[in-house]
Amino acid sequence: KIRRFELGNPGAVSVSFEFFPPKSDKMEAKLWSAVERLQPLDPSFVSVTYGAGGSTRERTHRTVSRLLKETAMAPAAHLTCVGASRGEIDEIVREYADLGVRHIVALRGDPLEGIGAVYRPREDGYAYASDLVEGIRRVADFEVSVSAYPERHPESADWSAEIDNLKRKVDAGATRAITQYFFDNDLFETFLEKVRAAGISIPIVPGILPITNFEQTMVFSAKCGTSIPHWLARRFAGLEQDSETRKLVASAVACEQVLDLVDRGITDFHFYTMNRADLTFAICHMLGVRPATSEQQAA
Ligand code: FAD
C-alpha cells in the first residue's frame, strides 16, 4: 500500500490507457496526437476497443498494428464474441498472434440489437466471455484481461451470478479484470471485498472515466448500469454552456477519485481516454506518473 506522499516514486502507480479506433482522417490525427502525448508516461499497456458486434474489426486491427509498429507501448486488442462464429473469432486471434500482439481484452459484447435487448448466443459461437477466454488460450499464449462490474452487469440476476461469472473467466485463464467505470469508490471497495472473499486473486483494475461530456455520460451510464451520485450531478450543474470550467471540474473530480483510491490501497488504474490526452495526462501527473527524466532513461 502506498500513501499520497509517496506518489512520484517511479513505479509506485501504474497506468494503462484505452483508445477507440478512429473513423476518419481527422479522428485519426486526434488519436495519434493523444498517443504521442501519453506515451512518455510509460503505460503498462494501451488497449483498443472493438466496435459493437465487430463493426470495427479492420480499424481495431489497423490501430493495434500501428501502435505495435510505431510506438514502444504494448498494445492490447479488445475482442467481442457476439455475432461471430468460433471459427471467425479464432481467425482474428491467430491474426493478432501472427502480428506479434500478446494481450487481448476478451469480452462478450452487447446484443446486436443494442444494450438492453435480450442476448441470444449464436449456436456456432462463443456464448459468453468465459468461453471466449478459453478459446483464445487454445489458439495462443496471450495475456487475457476481462471485464468486471462494481455495480453488477445489468443482465446478472444477483451478486452471486456476477461473481460466479468473474470466477469462470479467471478459471478459463484471465489474468486481469478491468472494471466498468464508476464514480462511487465505496461501491468499488465493496465489490473488491466480494471478489476477494470468493477467492479471486487476479488484479482488479479500476476503470476511470474522465468526464469530457457530462450529458453523454449520464445517458450511457443509465444503459450500462453505472450510477451517477447526486453530488456529481451537482458539480456539473449550470456548466452546460461553459466548456472551459467543465474541463477543470472534470479534472478535479477524477483527481479526487483516483487519490481517494490510492488512500484505499489501489496502485493500478485504467483510463478511458476517449482519444484525448489532456485530462488523463493531468490526472496521471497528480498520481505522480510523469515522463521519465533523462537520468532515469539512461539508468
Ligand atoms: P460476460 O462476462 O460474458 O457477462 C455478460 C452477462 O452474461 C453477465 O450478466 C453474466 O452474469 C452473464 N453470464 C455469463 N455467463 C453466463 C452463462 N453461462 N449463463 C447465463 N448468463 C451468463 N463492448 C464492446 O462492444 N467493445 C469493447 O471493446 C468493449 N470493451 C469493454 C471494456 C471493459 C473494460 C468493459 C467493462 C466493457 C467493455 N465492453 C465493450 C462492454 C461489454 O461488451 C458489455 O458490457 C457486455 O454487455 C458484456 O460483456 P462481458 O464481456 O462483460 O460479458
**Contact criterion met (CB below 8 Å) for 185 and 214:** no
Separation between Cα atoms, residue 70 and residue 28, nearest integer Å = 14
Q: Residue 118: CA atoms inside 13 Å, Cβ hemisphere, count? A: 1
In the chain the first and final C-alpha atoms are separated, in Å, by: 26
Q: Give me the mean pLDDT over the 52-66 stretch.
A: 93
Q: Give me the mean pLDDT over the 4-20 stretch.
A: 88
Q: Give me the mean pLDDT over the 154-165 stretch.
A: 98
Residue 19 has pLDDT above 90, yes or no: yes
Residue whose CA is at the smallest distance from ligand 1 atom 21 = 156
pTM flag (> 0.90): yes
Q: Give distance in angstroms: CA of 5 to centre of ligand 1.
A: 37
Separation between Cα atoms, residue 180 and residue 107, nearest integer Å = 12
Separation between Cα atoms, residue 209 and residue 234, nearest integer Å = 18
DSSP-assigned letters across all residues of 249-262: HHHHHHHHHHHHHH
pLDDT band, very low/low/confident/very high, at 164 (cuts 50, 70, 90): very high
Residue 294 has pLDDT above 90, yes or no: no
Is the Cβ atom of 185 under 6 angstroms away from ligand 1? Answer: no
Predicted local confidence at residue 1, as pLDDT:
66
Q: Give me the mean pLDDT over the 170-174 stretch.
A: 98
Residue 71 has pLDDT above 90, yes or no: yes
Task: From the CA of 47, give the closest atom in ligand 1.
Answer: 28
Probe residue for ligand 1, chosen from 108, 155, 178, 268 as the CB with the greatest number of ligand atoms within 8 Å: 108
Residue whose CA is at the smallest distance from ligand 1 atom 47 = 110
Residue type, 210: P
Residue 200 has pLDDT above 90, yes or no: yes
Q: Give me the mean pLDDT over the 168-186 stretch.
A: 98
Residue whose CA is at the smallest distance from ligand 1 atom 25 = 52
Is the Cβ atom of 153 under 6 angstroms away from ligand 1? Answer: yes
Q: Give distance in angstroms: CA of 212 to centre of ligand 1.
A: 24
On whether ipTM exceeds 0.95, the answer is yes
Q: pLDDT tens for residues 114-139?
A: 888 999 999 999 999 999 999 999 99
Predicted local confidence at residue 22, as pLDDT:
96
Helix axes 25-38, 278-286, angle to 10 degrees: 10
Predicted local confidence at residue 223, as pLDDT:
94
Is the Cβ atom of 50 under 6 angstroms away from ligand 1? Answer: yes
Q: Give distance in angstroms: CA of 83 to centre of ligand 1.
A: 13
Separation between Cα atoms, residue 193 and residue 30, nearest integer Å = 39
Q: Give distance in angstroms: CA of 186 to centre of ligand 1.
A: 23
